[in-house]
């Protein structure tokens, strides 16, 4: 490692002899990548930060005007293989201030679904790049032998950057290492020492939003991250992304690079264009030119109109309607043959319908015959009973009355047993809720609300699909649920001034939790929560 330190010492000495400029950290400077090409931030982000299939370009102009050469470039193709995995391949170039690294990157990510909106995702970026001296102002004296520098002028390096993320509902915790493993094929040694590794931890929360008409699938995604950088202070940053199907806005802060703000738009359902500017705040870099970033992307497949709102990390595959194929006119001969075929099929269908009708008529005749026989038997028994003695009639009448009484009592006992079982189930459920509250635990996972009474509503647990402040959007939502076969209803809560649209009412919390966790028996994939009415 003495050779590597010698290289940095020589280059930094030359750089500072020419101009007093701030040394750049050696990382990828990808802290503003929140949507397209976010797999460079953490390899698992290829699962949900890009559209299903897209090509995206990102370039960063560090402390310079936008008409100069970019210091970082990333051209990437990514796509979802299925609901649980994704891949990507791209070209990457990064100027660290000492070395210019140019090469490619492969990405793969996979998600393990544990149910209850819990998911563990793992991913890997594999870099292969050529590394050369970035500053051509340094021309060493040919009489001075610097074998370390010669080895570094043209070195091929493989670098492995794994990442992991654990998600529960909309909350996620992640970790990645930019150069956990690397190898220099020119020196046949590791390209970095143990104290030159770059690690990053992050937490984020995806919050679904309802914006103006036409801006669908909107969400707010704030993220906090901490990043260790060799030979520099640990970076602490915060960024936030507001995204919809029409536009996106983002802002951020990095303890080294300063504050940033950007925006972008989506055009013709496939093209996305955006830009970002970043200003330094620290005394060392506030006099530098601002940094710029450019994003351009083309979505190859149709964007998912039901983009997951965490942690609905998203588990269902979107069903796409197949495009109706153009009808090609048939030639006359083919048309006649097709008509004959259709006529044969129609004749078969008519014959089958006639056969079924005959079967139905025969079955009805057999039923009528059995009814006539049963009626005749009843008349015969009645005549025999009429001829029997009065005592026998009284005994039989008493026995019949007793049998009816026993049958009715059995029915009442069965109803009582069902009611007792339901009452016990409800009481056990209430005891469980009381125990959770007494222990200071949440009544249930996810969002939960309760009120003592609500006029016109039965006590119980209501599975809430959404809440609305206006009747217009409420009715639109209820109508969309009816199209899915869900008979949704709603009630008004005076305290919040909102209409609560619920999919169904349940007697117990356990039943409501089961319906929430199984996505209402697979009928409703969006996020739901539980509202309790305690009494009536």
pLDDT of residue 302: 64
DSSP 31: T
Residues of the chain with pLDDT under 50: 1, 3, 5-6, 8-20, 137-148, 151, 305-330
Contact indicator for 30, 235 with CB cutoff of 8 Å: no
Tokens 């009415």 belong to residue: 533
The alpha carbon of 476 is separated from its chain's Cα centroid by a whole number of angstroms, namely: 24
319 phi, psi to nearest 5 deg: -90, 120
Tokens 């979802």 belong to residue: 80
Burial readout 104-129 (b: 16 or more C-beta within 10 A, e: otherwise): ebebbbbbebeeebebebebbbbbeb
Tokens 């949704």 belong to residue: 488
Q: Are strands 529-533 and 448-451 parallel, antiparallel or unpaired?
A: parallel
413: part of which helix (H) or strand (E)?
A: helix 390-438
pLDDT of residue 491: 96
Residue among 100, 58, 53 nearest 75 (CA): 58
3-state secondary structure 429-495: HHHHHHHHHHCCCCCCCCCEEEECCCCCCCCEEEEEEEEECCHHHHHHHHHHHHHCCCCCEEEEECC
CATH topology for 443-533 is Alpha-Beta Plaits (3.30.70)
- Tell me the whole-structure pTM to 2 decimals: 0.52
pLDDT of residue 295: 93
Architecture of the domain spanning 2-299: Beta Barrel (2.40)
> Distance (Å, rounded) from C-alpha 253 to C-alpha 325?
50
pLDDT of residue 214: 75
The alpha carbon of 243 is separated from its chain's Cα centroid by a whole number of angstroms, namely: 14
Domain extent listing, the chain: 2-299, 402-441, 443-533
349: part of which helix (H) or strand (E)?
A: helix 332-387
> Distance (Å, rounded) from C-alpha 62 to C-alpha 231?
19
Question: For 513, what's the count of Cα atoms within 13 Å in the CB-facing half-sphere?
Answer: 12
205 CB-near residues (< 8 Å, 6+ apart)? 170, 171, 172, 221, 222, 310
**Distance set, CA 426 to CA 187, 229, 511, 518, 530 (Å):** 72, 57, 10, 21, 16
The SS3 call for residue 191 is coil
> Distance (Å, rounded) from C-alpha 413 to C-alpha 249?
65
Residue 21, token pair as written in the block: 């400029």
pLDDT of residue 147: 46
Bridge partners, 249 (sequence order): 242, 263
> Distance (Å, rounded) from C-alpha 103 to C-alpha 131?
9
The SS3 call for residue 390 is helix
Q: Exposed (0-12), middle (13-18) or buried (19+): which is 193, by Cβ within 10 Å? A: exposed
**Distance set, CA 68 to CA 131, 257, 516, 533 (Å):** 21, 19, 54, 64
434 CB-near residues (< 8 Å, 6+ apart)? none
Residue among 367, 54, 10, 301 nearest 153 (CA): 10
pLDDT of residue 118: 92
């Amino acid at each position: 490692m003495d050779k590597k330190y010698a290289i940095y010492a020589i280059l930094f000495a030359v750089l500072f002899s020419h101009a007093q400029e701030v040394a750049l950290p050696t990382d990828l400077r990808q802290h503003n990548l929140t949507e397209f090409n976010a797999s460079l931030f953490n390899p698992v982000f290829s699962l949900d930060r890009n559209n299903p299939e897209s090509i995206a370009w990102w370039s960063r102009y560090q402390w310079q005007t936008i008409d100069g050469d970019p210091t970082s470039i990333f051209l990437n193709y990514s796509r979802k293989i299925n609901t649980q995995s994704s891949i990507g391949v791209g070209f990457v170039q990064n100027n660290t201030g000492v070395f210019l690294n140019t090469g490619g990157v492969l990405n793969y990510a996979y998600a393990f679904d544990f149910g209850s909106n819990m998911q563990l995702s793992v991913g890997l970026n594999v870099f292969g790049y050529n590394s050369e001296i970035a500053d051509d102002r340094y021309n060493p004296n040919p009489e001075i032998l610097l074998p370390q520098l010669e080895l570094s002028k043209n070195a091929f390096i493989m670098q492995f950057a794994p990442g992991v993320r654990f998600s529960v509902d909309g909350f996620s915790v992640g970790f990645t290492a930019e150069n956990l493993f690397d190898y220099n094929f020119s020196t046949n040694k590791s390209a970095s020492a143990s104290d030159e590794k770059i690690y990053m931890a992050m937490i984020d929360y995806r919050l679904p939003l309802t914006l103006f008409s036409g801006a669908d699938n909107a969400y707010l995604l704030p993220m906090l991250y901490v990043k260790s950088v060799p030979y520099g202070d640990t970076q602490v940053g915060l960024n936030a992304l507001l995204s919809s199907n029409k536009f996106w806005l983002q802002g951020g802060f990095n303890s080294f690079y300063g504050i940033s703000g950007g925006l972008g738009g989506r055009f013709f359902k496939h093209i996305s264009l955006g830009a970002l500017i970043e200003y330094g705040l620290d005394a060392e870099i506030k006099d530098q030119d601002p940094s710029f970033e450019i994003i351009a992307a083309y979505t190859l497949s149709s964007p998912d109109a039901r983009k997951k709102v965490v942690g609905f990390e998203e588990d269902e595959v979107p069903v796409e309607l197949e495009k109706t194929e153009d009808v090609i006119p048939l030639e006359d001969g083919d048309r006649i043959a097709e008509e004959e075929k259709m006529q044969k099929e129609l004749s078969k269908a008519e014959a089958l319908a006639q056969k079924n009708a005959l079967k139905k008529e025969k079955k009805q005749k057999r039923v009528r015959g059995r009814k006539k026989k049963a009626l005749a038997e009843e008349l015969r028994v009645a005549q025999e009973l009429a001829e029997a003695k009065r005592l026998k009639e009284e005994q039989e009448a008493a026995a019949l009355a007793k049998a009816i009484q026993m049958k009715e009592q059995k029915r009442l006992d069965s109803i009582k047993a069902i009611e007792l079982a339901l009452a016990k189930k409800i009481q056990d459920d209430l005891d469980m809720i009381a125990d959770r509250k007494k222990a200071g635990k949440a009544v249930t996972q996810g969002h939960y609300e309760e009120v003592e009474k609500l006029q016109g509503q039965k006590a119980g647990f209501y599975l809430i699909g959404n809440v609305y402040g206006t009747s217009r959007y409420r009715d639109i939502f209820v109508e969309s649920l009816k199209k899915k076969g869900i008979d949704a209803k709603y009630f008004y809560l005076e305290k919040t001034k909102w209409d609560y649209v619920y999919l169904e009412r349940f007697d117990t919390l356990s039943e409501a939790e089961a319906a929430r966790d199984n996505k209402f028996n697979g009928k409703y994939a969006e996020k739901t929560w539980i509202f309790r009415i305690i009494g009536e």
